[in-house]
Amino acid sequence: MNKNIPLVPARYYLRLLDLLNQRNIPLSEIMQNSGLDTNMFIQIEDAKLSIQQIEQFIEFCLKYPQNADLAFELGSLLKLSSHSLVGYGVITSQTAEQAIQLVAQYFKLIIPNFQLVVKKEQQILWLIFEPTMQMTRLTLNFHLEAITIAFYHNLIEILGTHLPHYHIYTSLHEPRHLEKYHKLHKAQFHFSTLNTPSIQFALPKEVLLTNLPMADEFSLKMVEQRCQELLKQLSNSGEIAAWLRMMLREAYQLPSLSDCAKILNISTKTLQRYLKKQNADFQQIRMQVLMERAKYMLKETDKTVTDIADELGYATTTNFGRTFKQQTNMTPLAYRHATHQKTISSDGL
């Protein structure tokens, strides 16, 4: 799986360098082992990191026992101003609802390997953060904790005294530094309550009506225009097809063309037009990824063909078998047998 496309802003991880310095941890060793350039972190304003670089960096950071709370402390440092244009847009929004909608719409500009979904149910406003790409368990949990704490503090910045007591549900287990959570009095945290890696903020829906003190309609429009330009830059950069492949390969559930367009904040027709310019087609890319996954599961797992078909979203095993044969000239069972025989032959050499 390709994790080498630089997508994630380095500015958030730059904050970690200060924390590591304060803990007398040798930065040069961590940076060298992670394959990162300290000058790139500091000197290039819009530097971006790949998932692979982030995984290596976090892995080496967390090898030090005193860094068990590193994600918590990083989240505590990430104020609205840390989120660049999106943060400024939140501050200049007229209402809390407008601010939250803006964050959800442009969350890709904050951290592209996660998404924010906003849902309203009766009297509850649900803010759901979930990954859009696969990461190592260590990296995933690190980000979940950092996002939880950062957004806890961001809500206080947005709503101030209007923020009521609320609940936060997370897939994370209770951390060793649980006492730090007990000091966050605005919310009650519920650990190990979600089956899939995610965070859910449950707030009273009336908070959406809160008027914000620094509302500026003109500034907000300028920010939104710039955010849209930044998303379109990704689409025009010639990397949209590669980005889509990575999104499809790394996603827990394969997103649709419409889902991908929403992440980029463009229409499906516009996304198709960008792909056409790069001689790419969404359905072809999606089929390639489906076959990659099918081949992997047939070769590397003991899952039945029925289970694989179901996991890949096929209505019936027959449909999956027909498609697989059209793409590979082999039935799923024939492919499994052939690859197993090849492995046995190689082992016997």
- Of the candidates 19, 27, 30, the one whose C-alpha atom is nearest the C-alpha of residue 69 is 19
Contacts of 215-223 with CB under 8 Å at 24 or more apart are 215/92, 215/93, 215/94, 215/95, 216/92, 217/92, 217/94, 219/88, 219/92, 220/89, 220/92, 220/93, 220/94, 220/98, 220/102, 223/85, 223/86, 223/88, 223/89, 223/92
pLDDT of residue 150: 97
- What average pLDDT score do residues 143-151 get? 97
Whether 83 shows a pLDDT value over 60: the answer reads yes
What does DSSP assign to residue 195? Answer: S
Reduced to 3 states (helix: H, G, I; strand: E, B; else coil), residue 64 is coil
Domain limits, the chain? 1-67, 84-235, 238-278, 284-345
Instruction: For the chain, count helices (H), then strands (E).
Output: 18, 7
SS3 state at 114: strand
Write the class of the CATH domain 284-345.
mainly alpha
Instruction: State the pTM of this model.
Output: 0.72
pLDDT at 349: 43
Q: Which carries the bigger pLDDT value, residue 182 or residue 3?
A: 182
- Mean of the per-residue pLDDT values of the chain: 87
Question: What is the per-residue pLDDT across 127-137, written as a single tens digit (0 to 9) for each?
Answer: 999 987 778 89
Q: What is the pLDDT of residues 168-216, one digit of tens each?
A: 999 999 999 999 999 999 999 999 999 889 999 999 999 999 999 999 9
Chain Cα centroid distance, residue 91: 23
pLDDT mean over 299-319: 92
- pLDDT band (50, 70, 90) for residue 34: confident
Structure tokens at 149: 């704490």
3-state secondary structure 237-288: CCCHHHHHHHHHHHCCCCCCHHHHHHHHCCCHHHHHHHHHHCCCCHHHHHHH
- Using DSSP's 3-state secondary structure scheme, residue 145 falls into helix
Least confident of 25-29, 100-104, 140-144: 25-29
pLDDT value at 333 more than 80: yes
Confidence band (pLDDT; 50, 70, 90) for 1? very low
pLDDT computed for residue 6 by the predictor: 57
Confidence check: pLDDT of 76 > 50: yes
What integer pLDDT is reported at residue 5 of this predicted model?
61
CB atoms within 10 A of CB 113: 21
Mean pLDDT on 48-75: 92
